[in-house]
Structure 1
Amino acid sequence: MTDTQKPAAFTELVNLAARSLGAGVIAANDELFAEKENLLVAKPAEFRPHTFGHKGQIMDGWETRRRRGAGAEEPHPTDDDHDWAVVRLGVPGVIRGVIVDTAHFTGNYPETGSVEAASVPGNPSPEEVEAAEWTELVPRTALKGDTAHEFAVDVEQRFTHVRLNIWPDGGVARLRVHGEVVADPRDLDGLTFDLAAQEFGGVATGASDRYFSSPHNLNSLGRAAVMGEGWETRRRRNKDNDWVELDLVGEGEVLAVEIDTTHFVANCPGWASVSGRSAATGEWIELLPRTRLQPDTRHRYRVTPSEPVTAARLDVYPDGGIARLRLTGRLTEAGRAAHALRWLNLVPTVEAEQALTEAGLTVGEARTLAGARPLADAPAVRAAEAALQPADTPDGAETSRRRAAIWRLLGV
């Protein structure tokens, strides 16, 4: 893959289980040798031989004790005996692939493993998550030692938690869960927010160069702690410039731009500009003209929205590093509707029905509309609405109520 191609592999998608996005390991049945929290550490696993603690060699991963059978006559564990760890994703989304990495586990890696996922909205307890309905993403599969196992996933549903199962015991260094963020539209409704934010679904789709660090860092949560947490290109030796393109959360109006060069001192770009892709024409329109940048500085600019945009492009001249790019704005009605409809199509049936009843539909109406998913667009929603019972009253009150409820949730 060249630097200018858009990444296609699921490993180029957002790691939904990143600690920087708020992910956490909420439960594990055992972690005697090495703590479950190591599964989500951002940096690759390390191994330092002959570093022993009170429980043996210190391992940079999650490692359980050796399983034993029921007694002297049956010293071995059964085929069903296994260990598990449950991870709350930092942001809910559609999972496109997972990586189960057994780096540095050679004589103590699991024989097989599997991955499941569940959707449990809100802030559930570990017990509530355990009682949820789980969907198999990766079936029980043979594992190797000291290997990063990549498993593509093809399940069109939004999930909030994953569970890693290992048979019968052993150690896993890291777990990565890559996919597409699907934020709850009700959390964003009526707000101005960062339209490019990774936590809401913004994603870098292409870059001219990613030699020193990833363009996915540009829209990460929080401020960069070090230079390596931004996006930095190699030194350019021709007269071109470097750039990154990002898909926004949805169609929206950009009201302000922040270009943060924190930690980039001798390698800060000289200038930068920001463009947006017109929702109407698909052409790039100027949001921020080419503007002088200062090293190690947060630059903030108010912009006047000319028309709605669906994507953004940051151009830096001629090269260098940017810590963060923020595009504060608001979704248009069309952007909100498209975002909400995608979310409704991807949540489990019980969540869709609950959301529709909370918006104002009856239980029966919510069940019927949820059963009509996937709903491709506003006309499809209207067609499904027309099929709802009971029939309308002479004054049209039932139609008005149903349409108000659907508008409240979906904006269509």
Structure 2
Amino acid sequence: MSTSQTPAAPFTELVNLASRLLGAGVVATNEDTFADAENLLVAKPAEFRPHTFGHKGQIMDGWESRRRRGTGADQPHPTDEDHDWAVVRLGVAGRIHGVIVDTAYFTGNYPESGSVQGASIPGHPSVAELADAEWTDLVPRTPLRGDTAHEFEVADTTRYTHVRLNIWPDGGVARLRVYGEVLPDPRDLDGLTFDLAAQEFGGVAEAASDRYFSSPHNLNAPGRATVMGEGWETRRRRDKANDWVQIALAGSGEVLAVEVDTSHFVANAPGWADLQGYDASSGGDPATDTAGWFELLPRTRLQPDTRHRLRLAAGRPATHVRFNVYPDGGVARLRLTGRLTESGRAALALRWFDALPAAEAAAALTGAGLTAAEAGALAAARPLAGPAQAAAAVAALQPADGPDGADTSRRAAAVWRLLGV
């Protein structure tokens, strides 16, 4: 079973790939005279303070371009194709499930229409390389309204590293959110221990018993919480149950250490916590299979405003964890240091490989040792939904010069280096 976080809930429950905390940034724009394009990525909702004027007019909390004009007195209006744009480098690459284009507080100065495009550009591209990239429509040109959070679902299954917001002919957009499934390059994780629950590697808080005061997505957010409101806090319980969060890990992995951080929670930290694991790699469903959960960390006493670092004995691999707090309260961060299992690394690599643009997939295969012809044929055979399909696709490649058996072994070794299957 794949551990891909296919959204059963609205796409807004997935990771915001355009979060500054994850490393996103506005890397290019053609015009932001009135208000900086970087405002698109500010984490908090847009604000409006009337009659706050700067040297360029009313100060707007968003991206706003100047008013476009035509070419002369006989053509004072812009053409139908004249438009402004801003390119955002996603904090983490991934498959985009939905975007929000929010024109909050832009009422007489919002764009008439807009679109969102995606591109996959490996490495650290320059502005010139961004301009030359192949851009794909994720949200086609669509009419926009003022003071509205426009939600657009995206069906494209490609892994993208950048998005471009286009607006016609000019105007202002307050915020841009890009929600999706993180798909890290597995080669970057080989041989490493890392936080299996972290958003930047694909961890997602899938469900929670309570999110009254703040979101469970804060638990595996990047960085340390700076105030209490940046953690996960539940309401006060008046029964004998407990609160919990379920997190899908980056992949099947062995959890080696836990950090439970109650920083800033002084009078409202939980009294105790424990951690359970679930291995869905064989096809189980953690939402319904209550008998499949096993103990990773026994119920442990917590202290307020404290980073608790706890080592775990080597044990069973898990694809999901359930973090239980007793009876209620707030936790700033949960960190699960561990390493991917062999099967977990392979499953992550297959999801990544299937989502790459064809040229990138072929380049990755040639880098692993296949010929250009073999790489092109295997890239065209995607999706490789599992190890069996990957092995069959490798076996179906036409042999090159030399004994067929040796050539098949060479190809299999090259694919193993890249995908682990």
* TM-score bucket (shorter structure): over 0.9
Residue 218 of structure 1 is matched in structure 2 by 219
Residue 372 of structure 1 is matched in structure 2 by 381
Residue 3 of structure 1 is matched in structure 2 by none
Residue 67 of structure 2 is matched in structure 1 by 66
Residue identity in the other structure for 2:224:
R
TM-score, normalization by structure 2: 0.95
Residue identity in the other structure for 2:376:
R
Residue 97 of structure 2 is matched in structure 1 by 96
Residue deviations 1:52-81 (CA, integer Å, cap 9, x gap): 111101100000000000000000000000
Residue identity in the other structure for 2:378:
L
Say which SS state the counterpart of residue 347 (structure 2) adopts.
Answer: helix
Instruction: Give the Cα–Cα distance (whole angstroms) in 2 for the partners of residues 304 and 403 of structure 1.
Output: 35
Residue 254 of structure 1 is matched in structure 2 by 255
Quote the offset at 1:392 in angstroms: 6.9
Residue 35 of structure 1 is matched in structure 2 by 36
8 Å CA contact 1:108–1:171 kept in 2: the answer is yes
Is residue 179 of structure 1 aligned with residue 180 of structure 2?
Answer: yes
Residue identity in the other structure for 1:126:
V
Residue 79 of structure 1 is matched in structure 2 by 80
Residue identity in the other structure for 2:116:
V
Residue deviations 1:140-179 (CA, integer Å, cap 9, x gap): 1111111111111110110010000000000000000011
TM-score, normalization by structure 1: 0.97
Equivalence map 1:159-308=2 (5 Å): 159-279=160-280, 283-308=292-317
Instruction: Give the Cα–Cα distance (whole angstroms) in 2 for the partners of residues 114 and 296 of structure 1.
Output: 45
Instruction: Give the Cα–Cα distance (whole angstroms) in 1 for the partners of residues 61 and 404 of structure 2.
Output: 68
Residue 348 of structure 2 is matched in structure 1 by 339
Residue deviations 1:353-411 (CA, integer Å, cap 9, x gap): 01000011111110010010001111111111112222573483322211111110011
8 Å CA contact 1:258–1:300 kept in 2: the answer is yes
Say which SS state the counterpart of residue 43 (structure 1) adopts.
Answer: coil
Residue deviations 1:249-287 (CA, integer Å, cap 9, x gap): 111111111100011111100000001003457611101
Instruction: Give the Cα–Cα distance (whole angstroms) in 1 for the partners of residues 238 and 128 of structure 2.
Output: 57
Equivalence map 1:112-127=2 (5 Å): 112-127=113-128
Residue identity in the other structure for 1:150:
E
Instruction: Give the Cα–Cα distance (whole angstroms) in 2 for the partners of residues 247 and 110 of structure 1.
Output: 38
8 Å CA contact 1:392–1:399 kept in 2: the answer is no
Say which SS state the counterpart of residue 219 (structure 1) adopts.
Answer: coil
* Structure 2 residues not aligned, in runs of 5+: 1-6, 287-291
Residue 407 of structure 1 is matched in structure 2 by 416
Aligned residue among 324, 331, 350 for 2:333: 324
Aligned residue among 376, 390, 409 for 1:381: 390
8 Å CA contact 1:194–1:328 kept in 2: the answer is yes
8 Å CA contact 2:252–2:279 kept in 1: the answer is no
* Structure 1 residues not aligned, in runs of 5+: 1-5
Quote the offset at 1:132 in angstroms: 0.8
The 1:407–1:55 alpha-carbon spacing in structure 2 relative to 1, beyond 3 Å, is same
Residue 356 of structure 1 is matched in structure 2 by 365
Which stretch shifts more, 299-308 or 107-116?
Answer: 299-308
Residue 315 of structure 1 is matched in structure 2 by 324
Say which SS state the counterpart of residue 160 (structure 1) adopts.
Answer: strand
Instruction: Give the Cα–Cα distance (whole angstroms) in 2 for the partners of residues 306 and 331 of structure 1.
Output: 13
The 1:7–1:404 alpha-carbon spacing in structure 2 relative to 1, beyond 3 Å, is closer
